[in-house]
Structure 1
Amino acid sequence: MSNFGDLQSLASSITAVTSPFRNYLTDLYEKYRKLNDGAVADYIPELALAKPEWFGICVVTKDGQVFEVGDCDKLFTIQSISKAFVFGLALEDHGREYVNSKVSVEPTGEAFNAIVLDEATNRPYNPMVNAGAIATADLIEGENGTERLKRLLEMFKRYTGREHDINVPVFLSEKATGFRNRAMAYLMRNFGMISDKIDETLDLYFQQCSILVNAKDLAMLAATLANGGVNPVTGERAIDERYVQDVISVMLTCGMYDASGEWCYRVGMPAKSGVGGGITAVVPGKLGIGTFSPLLDAKGNSVRGIKVCQDLSQDFGLHLFNVAKSERDLQQWIAGGNGINDW
């Protein structure tokens, strides 16, 4: 090792292996890996190929420690989880007020693919439903579709620290079956909520949903937001700090489809789910969580992923509005019980 950064990285790796927190995650994995409730998404033909037994849990702390259990390297498509981060890029491109003039931030209580707009303003309700995400994608700057996609991929690289590919069969499958999304786009075009680049924007939206990630990537995405927009491993800024609160606020209120109120009540973490089976959850100032299991409940959220996040929230007092001191000091668990990290 040639410098302090390398030594610090090695120390974090050793801690992640020896920490009792890793044992806790292993127990959590064993607790839920045989839970077979739910079903694999099949409304996009390629998604139906996922295996129900796939399951991974990853946690990344704000100082870059990584804890992985299960199928954390298994690649799957990011789907709706991309919406939160594309929203962040749109904010950087245009600013809060302009973006809000095109996309509201109100929960809907409707299904994620509902063809519905706010009756008073004609805006889609929020960036986390399909209509809002299409409007958000339309705001991404670039001279053409290729440049706009390149900017999205570069953004995700800043968050995760690695390059990402598009799953072309999933993209083509979504494009071929995306009739509701096309209906939403034309409806929003009628009200001036998106530009006339409808086909280009829809392709961009389908491509962003088809980006390949794994559970570790989802934890790193969340940890970067938890760290004020700076990747805790690479040190690279992924999003302007002033827009982090915008992204995680909408994740908290709208990120779990029409189960967001229940999630906020029981788990209390800003989070975003996707029908590929992923959940990314942020504990601001502390850590990021990424889970992967393709078995979904009726709302489109990962059954095992919800259980994992519920246990983490309850066992370590991670609910945003938990005013009582947690019985377990998570930082002491992570550090092996010596309490050297600030919490």
Structure 2
Amino acid sequence: MEREMSKELLEDWLLHVKDIAEIGKVADYIPALASQDPRHLAVGIHRVSGQTVYAGKADHLFTLQSVSKVIALALALLDNGEERVFSHVGMEPSGDPFHSIVKLETSKPSKPLNPMINAGALAVTDLIQGNTPDEKVGRILSFIHDLTSDKTIHFNQQVAESEFQSAFLNRSLCYFMKQHGVINGEVEDVLDAYTKQCSIEMNIKQLARLGAVFANDGYDLETLRPIIPRNLARICKSFMVTCGMYDASGEFAIKIGIPAKSGVSGAIMCSVKHYGGIAVFGPALDEKGNSVAGLKLLEYITKQGDLSIY
């Protein structure tokens, strides 16, 4: 049976995971992320009913990184429809790291396995409507503003530039896919849009609300206006279940068992149907690229709330 979570309970759990955070390592292959403080921890829950509870550094801003892949997928599906999107990217989980190129070389017709790995996310960003990278990013931001009812959200220019300058592997993925017709845009333009997309900043309150809209089948929490069609919200949550936690998605499904998407900033966004959005943040990562403190917090939350979908 579902049990409520109080601020005091969340704060208590944050104290328990502080030592765990020391085990992980802050992402340093993106120079602007290397300076993150592993002690900055936060957790938030936004119920579809409107109830909220937050603990830790709830106003601390962090970049979405790969969490943005869910939002970009929803927008690309709205722009192009399922048939076109999935002619460029597949629907199958990958057992390889998120930045791997190996499946592009072994799968036919050389399209990425799913939209949650980097190759697939780059192909998805290429499909978003816009004549320039800034037009694409502007549309992503407008979409986020609509989903969160918060127009203050923007991207971090310093992080975007740092990612763009160090994106050698993502460039390789783009060139390979452009050679095979998976990507049509100019590689540098795709990377420009993608790195700005990944550098969009939020706090835990905004991310929990975003997760709640997906949990609410794409309907606005106050007006019940459909922002994302129900079937497209379902597709996004399905990818979160099967591919959202990189090559640890199977273990996550067994231990925690809710739709979730992580990013190498240390953010994780979760969406539980009929319940709401859950967001956790802790910059220290495990070897798979997931927040070590965030994972433990989600174990506590899903056990306490009996939230596993399985």
Q: TM-score normalised to the size of structure 2? A: 0.94
Q: What's the offset of the Cα at 1:241?
A: 1.9
Considering Cα pairs closer than 8 Å and 6+ residues apart, tell me whether 1 or 2 has the greater RCO. 2
Does structure 2 conserve the Cα–Cα contact (< 8 Å) formed by 1:158 and 1:237?
no
CA distance in 1 between partners of 2:57 and 2:227 (Å) = 26
Q: 1:234 to 1:307 in 2, by over 3 A?
A: farther
1:187 has 2:173 as partner:
no
Q: What's the offset of the Cα at 1:217?
A: 1.7
Q: Which has the larger radius of gyration?
A: 1
Does structure 1 conserve the Cα–Cα contact (< 8 Å) formed by 2:126 and 2:185?
no
1:128 has 2:116 as partner:
yes
What percentage of residue pairs aligned between the two structures are identical?
40
Residue identity opposite 1:207 in structure 2: K
Which residue is 1:150 aligned to?
138
Q: 1:146 to 1:22 in 2, by over 3 A?
A: same
Q: Deviations over 1:177-216 (max 9, x none)?
A: 1011011001001111010322211110010001111111
Could you say what secondary structure the match of 2:34 adopts?
A: helix
Residue identity opposite 1:85 in structure 2: I
Does structure 2 conserve the Cα–Cα contact (< 8 Å) formed by 1:161 and 1:234?
no
Q: Deviations over 1:100-134 (max 9, x none)?
A: 11000111111111113152231101111100000
Could you say what secondary structure the match of 1:307 adopts?
A: helix
> Within 5 Å, which residues of 2 pair with 1:23-62?
23-35=8-20, 36-62=22-48
Does structure 2 conserve the Cα–Cα contact (< 8 Å) formed by 1:102 and 1:135?
yes
- Which 10-residue stretch deviates more, 33-42 or 56-65? 33-42
Does structure 2 conserve the Cα–Cα contact (< 8 Å) formed by 1:84 and 1:128?
yes
Q: Where does the alignment leave 5 or more consecutive residues of structure 2 unmatched? A: none
CA distance in 2 between partners of 1:184 and 1:278 (Å) = 24
Could you say what secondary structure the match of 1:34 adopts?
A: helix
Residue identity opposite 1:109 in structure 2: G
Which residue is 2:166 aligned to?
177
Residue identity opposite 1:222 in structure 2: G
Which residue is 2:305 aligned to?
316
CA distance in 1 between partners of 2:73 and 2:225 (Å) = 19
Q: 1:80 to 1:230 in 2, by over 3 A?
A: same
1:266 has 2:255 as partner:
yes
Which residue is 1:250 aligned to?
239
CA distance in 2 between partners of 1:208 and 1:308 (Å) = 26
Q: 1:20 to 1:154 in 2, by over 3 A?
A: closer
Which residue is 1:9 aligned to?
none
Which residue is 2:227 aligned to?
238
Q: TM-score normalised to the size of structure 1? A: 0.85
Could you say what secondary structure the match of 2:128 adopts?
A: coil
Could you say what secondary structure the match of 2:44 adopts?
A: strand
Aligned residues: 303
Could you say what secondary structure the match of 2:258 adopts?
A: coil
Q: Where does the alignment leave 5 or more consecutive residues of structure 1 unmatched? A: 1-18, 322-343
CA distance in 1 between partners of 2:11 and 2:243 (Å) = 30
Q: What's the offset of the Cα at 1:236?
A: 5.1
Q: What's the offset of the Cα at 1:233?
A: 4.6
Q: Say which of 97, 100, 106 aligns to 1:111.
A: 97
Q: Deviations over 1:36-56 (max 9, x none)?
A: 220111000010110111000
CA distance in 1 between partners of 2:69 and 2:223 (Å) = 23
Give the root-mean-square deviation of aligned CA atoms.
Answer: 1.4
Does structure 2 conserve the Cα–Cα contact (< 8 Å) formed by 1:72 and 1:292?
no
Which residue is 1:13 aligned to?
none
Which residue is 2:71 aligned to?
85
Which residue is 1:97 aligned to?
83
Which residue is 1:324 aligned to?
none
Q: Deviations over 1:138-171 (max 9, x none)?
A: 0001232222111000011122221212111111
CA distance in 2 between partners of 1:97 and 1:109 (Å) = 25
